[in-house]
């Protein structure tokens, strides 16, 4: 069936609805939702019962890039800097050196067991070298898996920040495959340019975005998430235009924004959380439609061999070598090795060889697809089991509440207080967002001239206002007074 304009929304919405309903019940059987999204897409495709013909790699790649923007940006917004800061070095090494070691070790193995050239082998290794942010964020959060000693922030930081490295390696080795006369040294300047400009642009656009969000007056709360979407795409496309890595830029930009005081921050976070789920579903459905199961069957044997080597050898070796200079318990290293989930990102990267038209592009795509599926099935379904075996999981009754989760859910505090604002107070004529209010408290209502004013980030505090404040505990009241009265 060829999709026409008249029925594309109907078919798309039906697939989306089925994915949500099936995904809701999937974990009763221990199956990750991402696999089900892929299966639904495959069933709806040319080889399935839906008979929807879709083989446009360019459109699939475009959908993949847009989806990854939302997924990485949402993950960055949810990244708590307080949790990430202690493990920043480990996460950085895993997302750079770890990815490189994975690509090289797996590429070398592929070179030995296939008839691929060395550059084609390294290209395949590069495509699957990074852990997938969509898979890691989705599975860890849907399972509500709490891990000991900053283990979860390490995994989420690695998965959110290692796609840029894999992208640069993929483009570099694809260039070498296409242009056989180039030397491997010729891609080194490209690598440093991508990473340096990506990091610099990400931080710069983060500061610029904060200024725009807090200074512009839109009048409608619902427009602020739209504004952030525009800033996200500006960050990605402008960085890419300058020759930097757009994926790295939007991740750094979003981490910066997620740890700043923003107007209507809760609304923005909720919207991006929903959009990230939508994009995950759309991305996996699209990739499921793109693949032809009948074409994968001939490569299942070599695909399984490469996948097992990646899971059992390449990933653990890269993790242990990357973390060899850090003090970390052996069981933590083993668990990080096991959470080497591959998902949609490698499949999206595998469309680049297809569009470049290289000889073994179709074979690479099908092997990569098989590796991603087996990774989610083998590793994704056993994360909780391995966490218990390795004793890195927290008991159910001691699971902590993340700061951003608390901000989003607006969980009740344990104490309430009222503070009157004298005319000489620091807070007078200042917006709430500019006060940098403590995380341990928030304003729930403002009494002003015998009327109640609902507070928002753009609300300006006036003299003689009475602020109704909820606090974690009464001891936090002095900190709040310093912010409002003294500063």
Are 236 and 69 in contact by the 8 Å Cβ rule? The answer is yes
Confidence (pLDDT) at 145: 62
Number of H helices, E strands in the chain: 24, 4
Are 224 and 213 in contact by the 8 Å Cβ rule? The answer is yes
Structural tokens at position 180: 């056989």
Q: Which residues of 214-236 are buried (b: 16+ CB within 10 A; e: fewer)?
A: beeeeeeeeebbebbbebbbbbb
The pTM of the full predicted model, rounded to 2 decimals, is 0.79
Bridge partners of residue 468, in order along the sequence: 418, 445
Are 210 and 257 in contact by the 8 Å Cβ rule? The answer is yes
**What would the pLDDT profile of 412-461 be if each residue is shown by its tens digit?**
455 777 888 888 888 888 888 787 777 777 788 888 887 888 887 778 88
Confidence (pLDDT) at 81: 82
Residue 177 has pLDDT above 80, yes or no: yes
**What would the pLDDT profile of 337-390 be if each residue is shown by its tens digit?**
998 888 778 888 999 999 988 888 999 999 999 998 898 888 877 888 888 888
Structural tokens at position 437: 């209010």
Range of 27-31, 58-62, 118-122, 157-161 with top mean pLDDT: 118-122
Flag the least confident range among 181-190, 231-240, 397-406: 397-406
List where CATH 3.30.70.1450 sits in the chain: 412-486
List where CATH 1.20.1530.20 sits in the chain: 56-398
- The sheet carrying 415-420 orders its strands as 415-420, 466-471, 441-448, 451-453
**What would the pLDDT profile of 85-106 be if each residue is shown by its tens digit?**
888 898 899 999 999 999 999 9
Confidence (pLDDT) at 140: 66
CATH number for region 56-398: 1.20.1530.20
Residues of the chain above pLDDT 70, percent: 87
> What does the pLDDT average to over 249-274?
90
pLDDT category of residue 315 using cuts at 50, 70 and 90: very high
Flag the least confident range among 132-141, 300-309, 470-479: 132-141
Closest CA to 138 of 62, 63, 75: 75
Confidence (pLDDT) at 144: 58
pLDDT category of residue 487 using cuts at 50, 70 and 90: low
Flag the least confident range among 59-68, 77-86, 195-204: 77-86
> What does the pLDDT average to over 180-202?
86
How high is the mean pLDDT of the chain? 83
pLDDT category of residue 201 using cuts at 50, 70 and 90: very high
CATH superfamily for 412-486 is Regulator of K+ conductance, C-terminal domain (3.30.70.1450)
> Looking at per-residue confidence, does 255 or 220 come out higher?
255
Residue 405 has pLDDT above 50, yes or no: no
Confidence (pLDDT) at 125: 95
Flag the least confident range among 44-58, 95-109, 249-263: 44-58
Are 289 and 63 in contact by the 8 Å Cβ rule? The answer is no
Would you say the C-alpha torsion 307, 36, 344, 135 has a positive or negative sign? negative
Residue 301 has pLDDT above 70, yes or no: yes
Confidence (pLDDT) at 139: 67
> What does the pLDDT average to over 40-60?
78
> What does the pLDDT average to over 106-129?
94
CA atoms of 191 and 179, how far apart (whole Å): 17
Q: Which residues of 242-262 are buried (b: 16+ CB within 10 A; e: fewer)?
A: eebbbbbbbbbbbbbbbbbeb
Residue 284 has pLDDT above 50, yes or no: yes
> What does the pLDDT average to over 217-245?
92
CA atoms of 155 and 144, how far apart (whole Å): 14
Give the contacts of 192 (CB within 8 A, at least 6 positions apart): none
């Amino acid at each position: 069936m060829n999709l026409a304009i008249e029925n594309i929304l109907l078919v798309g919405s039906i697939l989306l609805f089925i994915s949500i309903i099936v995904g809701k019940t999937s974990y009763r059987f221990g199956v990750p939702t991402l696999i089900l999204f892929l299966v639904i897409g495959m069933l709806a495709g040319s080889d399935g019962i839906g008979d929807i013909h879709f083989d446009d790699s360019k459109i699939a790649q475009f959908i993949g890039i847009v989806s990854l923007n939302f997924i990485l940006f949402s993950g960055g917004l949810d990244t708590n800097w307080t949790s990430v800061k202690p493990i920043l070095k480990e996460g950085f090494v895993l997302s750079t050196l770890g990815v490189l070691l994975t690509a090289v070790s797996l590429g070398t193995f592929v070179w030995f067991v296939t008839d691929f050239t060395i550059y084609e082998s390294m290209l395949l290794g590069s495509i699957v070298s990074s852990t997938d942010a969509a898979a890691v964020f989705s599975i860890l959060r849907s399972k509500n898996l709490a891990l000991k000693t900053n283990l979860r922030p390490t995994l989420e930081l690695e998965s959110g920040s290692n796609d840029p490295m894999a992208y640069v390696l993929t483009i570099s080795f694809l260039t070498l495959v296409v242009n056989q006369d180039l030397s491997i040294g010729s891609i080194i300047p490209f690598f440093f340019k991508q990473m340096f400009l990506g990091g610099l642009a990400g931080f710069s656009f983060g500061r610029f975005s904060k200024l725009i969000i807090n200074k512009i007056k839109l009048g409608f709360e619902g427009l602020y998430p739209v504004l952030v979407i525009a800033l996200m795409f500006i960050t990605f496309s402008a960085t890419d235009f300058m020759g930097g890595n757009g994926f790295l830029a939007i991740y750094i930009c979003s981490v910066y924004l997620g740890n700043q005081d923003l107007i209507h921050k809760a609304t923005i976070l909720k919207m991006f959380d929903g959009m990230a789920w939508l994009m995950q579903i759309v991305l996996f459905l699209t990739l499921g439609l793109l693949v032809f199961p009948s074409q994968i069957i001939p490569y299942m044997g070599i695909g399984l061999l490469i996948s097992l080597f990646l899971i059992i050898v390449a990933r653990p070796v890269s993790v242990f070598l990357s973390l060899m200079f850090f003090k970390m318990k052996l069981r933590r290293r083993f668990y990080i090795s096991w959470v080497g989930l591959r998902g949609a990102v490698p499949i999206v990267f595998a469309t680049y060889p297809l569009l470049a038209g290289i000889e073994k592009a179709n074979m690479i795509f099908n092997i990569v697809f098989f590796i991603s599926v087996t990774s989610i099935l083998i590793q994704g379904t056993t994360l909780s089991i391995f966490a218990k075996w390795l004793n890195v999981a927290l008991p159910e009754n001691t699971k902590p509440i993340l700061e951003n989760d608390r901000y989003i859910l607006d969980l009740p505090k344990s104490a309430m207080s009222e503070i009157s604002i004298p005319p000489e107070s620091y807070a007078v004529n200042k917006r709430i967002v500019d006060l940098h209010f403590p995380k341990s408290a928030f304003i729930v209502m403002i009494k002003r001239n015998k009327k109640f004013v609902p507070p928002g980030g753009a609300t300006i505090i006036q003299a003689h206002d009475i602020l109704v404040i909820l606090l974690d505990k009464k001891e936090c009241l002095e900190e709040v007074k310093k912010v409002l009265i003294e500063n």
